[in-house]
Structure 1
Amino acid sequence: MSMSLQSEIEDLWSQYQNDEIDAETSMEDLTVLGDFLDALEDDEIRAAEKSGGEWEVNEWVKQGVLLNFGLRQISKYEYGDVTYNDVLPLADSDEYGDRGSRNTPNGTVVRRGANIGSDVIMMSPSFVNIGARVGDGTLVDSCDTVGSCAQIGDDVKLGANTLIGGVLEPVEDAPVIIEDGVSLGAGCRVTSGFIVGENSVVGENTLLTPRIPVYDLVEGEIRYGELPPERRAFIRYVESSVGDHDLFDGGAYKPAVVATHIEEETLEGTEREDALRE
């Protein structure tokens, strides 16, 4: 099914890029776009997948997401007592409970085309955008945002007020990846296709982006764009060369991320939280 859907999306994308689609999208094209959203929600297709230990982008999936924005008209929708205007409705959450997932009231918003796994806990307010995947057993805490096409693994904890950035364009760029078993502390920001390796624990208010170096003390390396598996990471500020400028009397500092071994007490803390959630 996905191969046929892929060819239909790629054909639509080519027409769209070459301005070959009329101003009003045909019912046939809308059907393809709807089938595409269904496939995303059913986890039949993903914006990125791991193959041979490396994450690979499915460009055609990101093309399909962009087509849903480009070829649909803005419509009015109802959400509780609120009328809103968008090109997409919200996802149908009726089946969440059947697979053990919870979405609390007053602001738990999942946009059409997002995949929510089994035994997921979504606290309000929180938002999951189109193309994103939230894996089985994951906690999306209050005031969290999961951006478009972000891939969140199984048994992940997103602390309160965490931002997972979306990456739509260019289509060949990888989305943010949070692998299985990761715990992100409150207020973390993960953007621009950063990959957080499995079972890592990230301290609160840490910014993970390819523009900020990760000092991996385990391997003795400086990394960009990724945090290896099994790390404890936290934000620190290191002296910047710009500190020599007259404008920065007394020096200046830039953010960095320090990664170390996961300490035993850190593991015990996450295990206690797992017990509370059960």
Structure 2
Amino acid sequence: MTLEADVNDLWRRSEQGLSADQTTADDEAVLDDFLAALEAGEVRAAEKTGSDVTSWEANAWVKRGILLNFGLRETEGRSYGDVTYYDVLPLRETADLGERGTRNTPDGTAIRRGAYLGSDCIMMSPSFVNVGAYVGDGTLVDSCDTVGSCAQIGANVKLGANTLIGGVLEPVEDAPVVIEDDVSLGAGCRVTSGFRIGEHSIVGENTLLTPRIPVYDLVEEEVIFGHLPANRRAFTRMVESSVSDHDLFEGGAYKPAVVATDVEDETLEATQREEALRE
């Protein structure tokens, strides 16, 4: 059987009541082989099926394998330096990273089992990469960054300090957060709930990207949700809210929105951006 077939069979049995204290040595071998495949980059939680950033699709069986590693393992006491912690998964072994030129600085970089880091990556402390995440070659995970479960980060990406990349585990059909190649996120950005960022985009600091917040794409002159197209420069602005007329909001109420311009176009004045938003 293939690894996918083994995982799907184990998932079926877990739905029928299989628990952690009932697993066999063969079951545990499937769980371990699956984590090893994730760490080697042989399987991924999502794959791009077309040319556009919206074409990413979840690999449901991979997300099932991650959930099985939580449901069919016992919580154990584990050590991280001088700290004892309790979890179903240990941290990832990192001996292979140095061979590929990837660095993880001491005192606080944590990589959970089942995470993939490419060649020539940099993880600054403190930072955390969760199970199922994929971090491409040459990417920087800066101080105080979190890369959530199943997040797909491309090559040569810069995650500014204190950036949060949200995790998406359930439902298994939902695609995780995707950040394509050559993207730069400013410090303090938040990317959540399966939002996708197209390649070569630059996102200003403290920008929140989530499917619930509209993106005003001034390049194509449209409002979009859930993704930022490729080759955009994006930043947060405030636009008038539907509750502005309420008596409690003297002077009006506003909500965040994201403005996207051409990444190479630095000539658009702030007043022009405001006019575009209000039209």
Matched residue SS, 1:242: coil
Distance (Å, rounded) in 2 between the aligned partners of 1:135 and 1:80: 27
**Is the 1:15–1:21 Cα contact (8 Å) retained in structure 2?**
no
Which letter maps to 1:192?
Answer: S
Matched residue SS, 1:243: coil
Question: Is 1:25 the counterpart of 2:18 in the alignment?
Answer: no
Task: Output aligned runs, 1:63-102, within 5 Å.
Answer: 63-102=64-103
Question: Is 1:177 the counterpart of 2:175 in the alignment?
Answer: no
Name the counterpart of 2:160: 159
Matched residue SS, 1:88: coil
The alpha-carbon deviation at position 22 of structure 1 amounts to 6.5
Matched residue SS, 2:22: coil
Which letter maps to 2:81?
Answer: G
Relative to 1, partners in 2 of residues 1:62 and 1:164: Cα closer, same or farther, differing over 3 Å?
same
Distance (Å, rounded) in 2 between the aligned partners of 1:18 and 1:249: 57
Distance (Å, rounded) in 1 between the aligned partners of 2:266 and 2:222: 25
Name the counterpart of 1:43: 41
TM-score normalised by length of structure 2: 0.92
Relative to 1, partners in 2 of residues 1:20 and 1:88: Cα closer, same or farther, differing over 3 Å?
closer
Name the counterpart of 2:258: 257
Name the counterpart of 2:275: none
Matched residue SS, 1:105: coil
Task: Output aligned runs, 1:181-260, within 5 Å.
Answer: 181-260=182-261
Matched residue SS, 1:97: helix
The alpha-carbon deviation at position 78 of structure 1 amounts to 1.1
**Is the 1:47–1:57 Cα contact (8 Å) retained in structure 2?**
yes
The alpha-carbon deviation at position 94 of structure 1 amounts to 0.8
**Is the 2:20–2:71 Cα contact (8 Å) retained in structure 1?**
no
Distance (Å, rounded) in 2 between the aligned partners of 1:85 and 1:241: 46
Which letter maps to 1:219?
Answer: E
Name the counterpart of 2:276: none
Distance (Å, rounded) in 2 between the aligned partners of 1:51 and 1:100: 30
- Structure 2 regions of 5+ residues with no counterpart? 268-279
**Is the 2:151–2:178 Cα contact (8 Å) retained in structure 1?**
yes
**Is the 2:20–2:72 Cα contact (8 Å) retained in structure 1?**
no
Matched residue SS, 1:96: helix
Which range moves more in the overlay, 215-224 or 257-266?
257-266
The alpha-carbon deviation at position 248 of structure 1 amounts to 1.6
The alpha-carbon deviation at position 23 of structure 1 amounts to 3.6
The alpha-carbon deviation at position 197 of structure 1 amounts to 0.3
> Alpha carbon RMSD of aligned pairs, Å?
1.3
Which letter maps to 1:17?
Answer: E
The alpha-carbon deviation at position 90 of structure 1 amounts to 0.4
Matched residue SS, 1:69: helix
Taking only the aligned residue pairs, the percentage that are identical comes to 70
The alpha-carbon deviation at position 25 of structure 1 amounts to 2.2
Distance (Å, rounded) in 1 between the aligned partners of 2:63 and 2:24: 21
The alpha-carbon deviation at position 21 of structure 1 amounts to 4.4
- Structure 1 regions of 5+ residues with no counterpart? 267-278
Name the counterpart of 1:16: 14
**Is the 1:175–1:193 Cα contact (8 Å) retained in structure 2?**
yes
Distance (Å, rounded) in 2 between the aligned partners of 1:20 and 1:137: 41
Which structure has more RCO (C-alpha within 8 Å, separation ≥ 6)?
2
Distance (Å, rounded) in 2 between the aligned partners of 1:51 and 1:246: 49
TM-score normalised by length of structure 1: 0.92
The alpha-carbon deviation at position 81 of structure 1 amounts to 1.0
Matched residue SS, 1:232: strand
Which letter maps to 2:261?
Answer: T
Deviation per CA, 1:232-257: give whole Å up to 9, x if none.
Answer: 00001101011111222221000000
The alpha-carbon deviation at position 15 of structure 1 amounts to 1.3
The alpha-carbon deviation at position 87 of structure 1 amounts to 0.3
**1:5 maps to which of 3, 6, 14:** 3
Relative to 1, partners in 2 of residues 1:265 and 1:245: Cα closer, same or farther, differing over 3 Å?
closer
Matched residue SS, 1:8: helix
Relative to 1, partners in 2 of residues 1:217 and 1:134: Cα closer, same or farther, differing over 3 Å?
same
Deviation per CA, 1:52-75: give whole Å up to 9, x if none.
Answer: 222121000000000000010001
Matched residue SS, 2:188: coil
